[in-house]
Amino acid sequence: MLARKLPLATILFLLLRLLTEGIADAQERIRPSRTHHIVVLSSGESTSSDHPLLMGLRYGLKRAGYVEGINLFLHVPRNQNYDEVRATAQQYKNENIDVFVSIGSTDTAIAKQAGLTAPIIFMPTRDPLGRGFVKSLARPQTNLTGLAYEVNEEIAGKEMEIFKNVVSRLQRVLILFEGSLEKPVFSRSLPALRNVSEHLGISLIERPVRSYAEAEHAVSALPQELVNGIFILCTNFFSGDQNTPTIAKKKKIPFYGCPSQVRKFGGLVSYAPDLFYIGRRGAWYVDRILKGAGPQELPVETPRKFELAINLKTADAIRLKIPPEVLQRADKVIR
């Protein structure tokens, strides 16, 4: 006897049931015994969903098997300044948080000062040993570890050399850095910049700033003939400052800044670690800790890949010709 054909509606119902049961089974397989909570401590530009650090972090966590909303909740408060970061740290201090991720040196210092007992992953920070975040790069021996922007002052000198290669006529440079003259955030970087600049025949004007308004005023009040370059000692503090590079561009002064200032806000050149890669490596640290490792056992990593970014649109606007050999070395060219 021939098998009776099933009605089309019945076939569709069975297929839908199989599909629904398959999805439910897949969700059950990835559902853990508990859900992990990660809090990002940062402010400004680096809390944007399209920031390379956060994109890399999310990508790395997804590759490691974490699904937001199912076995992972990534909390990214949209803090606008350091006071709000401090408030966020206090807000989550007594919550059941598995890992804190701090973006930038000052944000990491805030996390440390808040007395957070959960592991803290910094990605990245300049000079974590000099700032007292860890006792050793190989064995942190604290509840902090992660990725360093630099572990010594050499990178700062390298940045000035690159600026000179891009702007061959560079002779007088305004340096903006976070902090005060008595207490700059990166006291070890400034001597390196001075030494390299002297070797390159560049004189420096140093200006500490503690707000975007101070940075903008330093550039706005600057006589155009006084300098032929502006150099930002990049920290997370500067990453969302869009007005300062815009002012420099209008005054036709070459601007060395943070990657976001070159990528988005019209800065001329930056040389910095690949931020997406650092985010991915940050996810590796988070995964290791969620699987039972202690931060005191995880060595601090240094960047393996740096990116030279040049904004050709800005170069054209300020009537600067980039040497062809320098342009060929650029990893990113904004046209």
- For position 66, which CATH number holds? 3.40.50.2300
CA of 2: how far to CAs of 9, 11, 244, 271, in Å? 20, 18, 81, 74
The answer to whether residue 268 sits within a structural domain is yes
In angstroms, rounded to a whole number, what is the distance separating the alpha carbons of residues 171 and 197? 9
Whether cis (ω within 30° of 0) applies to the bond prior to 124 is yes
The answer to whether residue 211 sits within a structural domain is yes
The answer to whether residue 176 sits within a structural domain is yes
Residues 283 and 313 in one domain: no
What lies within 8 Å, CB to CB, of 78 at 6+ separation is 47
Give how far the C-alpha of residue 236 lies from the chain's centroid of Cα atoms, to the nearest Å: 7
Mean pLDDT of 43-57: 89
CA of 17: how far to CAs of 5, 260, 275, in Å? 19, 48, 44
Residues 160 and 176 in one domain: yes
Q: What does the pLDDT read at residue 83?
A: 94
Structure tokens at 152: 């010594």
Alpha-carbon torsion (310, 312, 317, 320), positive or negative: positive
Residues 137 and 218 in one domain: no
Residue 182 pLDDT greater than 80, yes or no: no
Residues 114 and 170 in one domain: no
Residues 177 and 311 in one domain: yes
The answer to whether residue 63 sits within a structural domain is yes
Q: Are 251 and 266 in contact (CB under 8 A)?
A: no
Residue 101 backbone dihedrals phi, psi, to 5 degrees: -115, 120
**Domain of 215, in residue numbers:** 154-272+307-334
Residues 109 and 165 in one domain: no
15: three-class secondary structure by DSSP: helix
Lowest-pLDDT range of 26-40, 124-138, 277-291, 309-323: 26-40
The answer to whether residue 18 sits within a structural domain is no
In angstroms, rounded to a whole number, what is the distance separating the alpha carbons of residues 168 and 171? 9
Residues 204 and 242 in one domain: yes
Structure tokens at 150: 């630099």
Residue listed under structure tokens 């006084």: 226
Residues 88 and 198 in one domain: no
Residues 45 and 178 in one domain: no
Question: In whole numbers, what is the pLDDT of the chain averaged over residues?
Answer: 88
pLDDT confidence tier of residue 280, bands split at 50, 70 and 90:
very high
Q: What does the pLDDT read at residue 13?
A: 62
Lowest-pLDDT range of 38-42, 114-118, 130-134, 277-281: 130-134
Residues 43 and 128 in one domain: yes
Question: What are the start-end ranges of the E strands in the chain?
Answer: 36-41, 72-75, 99-102, 120-126, 144-150, 172-178, 203-209, 230-232, 255-256, 269-273, 306-311, 332-334
The answer to whether residue 4 sits within a structural domain is no
Type of residue at 136: S
Q: Provide the 10 A C-beta neighbour count for residue 334.
A: 17
The answer to whether residue 8 sits within a structural domain is no
Residues 253 and 185 in one domain: yes
Number of helices followed by number of strands (H, E) in the chain: 12, 12
Residues 146 and 284 in one domain: yes
Question: How many domains would you assign to the chain?
Answer: 2
Lowest-pLDDT range of 155-169, 182-196, 201-215, 251-265: 182-196
Q: What does the pLDDT read at residue 286?
A: 98
Residue 21 pLDDT greater than 70, yes or no: no
The answer to whether residue 225 sits within a structural domain is yes
Structure tokens at 309: 């970014």
pLDDT confidence tier of residue 30, bands split at 50, 70 and 90:
very low
